[in-house]
Amino acid sequence: MLPSQRQAAQAIVNIFETGVPLGDYGQVTVIAGDTGHLTYGRSQTTLGSGNLHALLARYCATVGARFAARLAPALPRLAARDLTLDHDGKLHNLLRAAADDRTMREVQDVFFDETYWQPAMRAAARLGIASPLGVAVVYDSHVHGSWGRIRDATDAQIGSVAAAGEPAWIAAFVRKRRDWLAGHARADLRATVYRMDAFQRLIEQGYWGLELPLVVHGQEISAATLAGTPSGCYEGPAPGSRAIALQTPLVRGLDVRLLQLGLSERGMDIRADGIFGRTSMACLRNYQAAHELPATGVADVALIAELTAGLA
């Protein structure tokens, strides 16, 4: 498989998981009824599976991990699969901020490669599935679940890949998995039939080689969209390089994220998304008032330095 084909296959699943081709490394999700509970990262690994603990333990053990000291205290609760973490806003904000650290993104890439991509490649090879689109279907089922169940059901229906031919087998697998998702008892899984609809469209169009550019689930996969900093991650500007205030367009960046994280660590109910909107301004005003500062909702360089000390 060419590097561009591997990127395309992984980008398809990234779109399914987090909505963007490069994946949202900082996405934190808790879906009602999801047995995985707290879910994080580019390929949305879960508290319930134990993989979230494994990912964060690896990150914390990596030299140079910027947020290791802050995340390490949560590792025992992650290992115990403590479901109260579903509602731990401070931890969620730490996870969002950690995605700005290149080390976290590199750790996620290696972890998800070992956990999902490599097993999917081996499973595809064992069955004789060689096309990039076929491998993408196998990979999606490793990330999202149900690979073994639907593989066996497809074999029972039309025979092996060797007997039916790869295109026919993959098409049957996609139909079988769509039916399984559509009839699932869990509403959150029923809502994911769009994954199989997207694969069905690629099959109908004959895009077995996943040649770029592609449009999948309304998202462009091309050399341009696969380049640069992943969506939602910030590498600048540095805290203290500017004042932060509500304005149009909204101020975004690393300094905003760390300001929000500083407020979160001091008890403010704020989402550290790196975007300074009205809620962030209100939280900042509340902090200023509580500390007998002028409640302007504007963070000057001195206040930014105070709130982001030790974070940059």
Q: Percent helix, strand and coil across the chain, each rounded to 5?
A: 55, 5, 40
CATH of the domain at 74: 1.20.141.10
291 in the same domain as 186 = no
- Residue identified by tokens 């029923």 is 190
pLDDT value for 176: 98
Asked if residue 256 and residue 196 are part of one domain, the reply reads: no
DSSP assignments along 231-292, one per residue: TT----PPTTSS-B---SSPEESHHHHHHHHHHHHTT-----SSEE-HHHHHHHHHHHHHTT
DSSP 113: I
Site of tokens 């895009």: 207
Q: Which domain holds residue 92?
A: 3-221
The reply to whether 295 and 203 lie within a common domain is no
Is 295 inside a domain boundary? yes
> What is the tens place of the pLDDT at every residue in 41-58?
999 999 999 999 999 999
Q: Is residue 195 part of a domain?
A: yes
In total, how many domains does the chain have? 2
Is position 231 within any domain?
no
Average pLDDT over residues 114-133: 98
Rg of the chain, C-alpha, whole Å: 22
pLDDT in tens, 234-252: 999 999 999 999 999 999 9
At 35, the pLDDT band (50, 70, 90 cuts) reads confident
Condensed to tens digits (0 to 9), the pLDDT of residues 152-191 reads 999 999 999 999 999 999 999 999 999 999 999 999 999 9
pLDDT at 301: 96
Residues 268 and 145 in one domain: no
214 lies in the same domain as 269? no
pLDDT reading at 311 higher than 90: no
Is the pLDDT assigned to residue 97 strictly greater than 90? yes
Confidence label for 122 from pLDDT (cuts 50, 70 and 90): very high
In degrees rounded to 5, what are phi and psi of residue 286? -60, -40
Confidence at residue 33, expressed as pLDDT on a 0 to 100 scale = 82
pLDDT at 312 over 80: no
Residue 193 within a domain: yes
Indicate if 104 and 151 belong to the same structural domain: yes
Domain match, 143 and 63 both: yes
Q: What percent of the chain has pLDDT over 90?
A: 95
* Same domain, yes or no: 136 and 285: no
Q: What is 30-77 written as a DSSP string?
A: --TT-TT-SEETTTTEETTTSHHHHHHHHHHTSTT-TTHHHHGGGHHH
Is 239 within a domain?
A: no
For residues 107 and 51, the answer to whether their CB atoms sit within 8 Å is no
| Residue 260 maps to a domain | yes
pLDDT over 70 for what percent of the chain?
Answer: 100
50 and 165 inside one domain: yes
Same-domain pairing of 57 and 183? yes
192 in the same domain as 47? yes
Least confident of 195-199, 219-223, 281-285, 307-311: 307-311
User: Residue 310 above 90 pLDDT?
Assistant: no
Q: Could you tell me if residue 80 is inside a domain?
A: yes
Q: Is residue 235 included in any domain, yes or no?
A: no
Global pTM reads 0.91
Whether residue 209 contacts residue 133, with contact meaning beta carbons closer than 8 Å, is answered with yes
Are 63 and 170 contained in the same domain? Answer: yes
- CATH code of 292's domain: 1.10.101
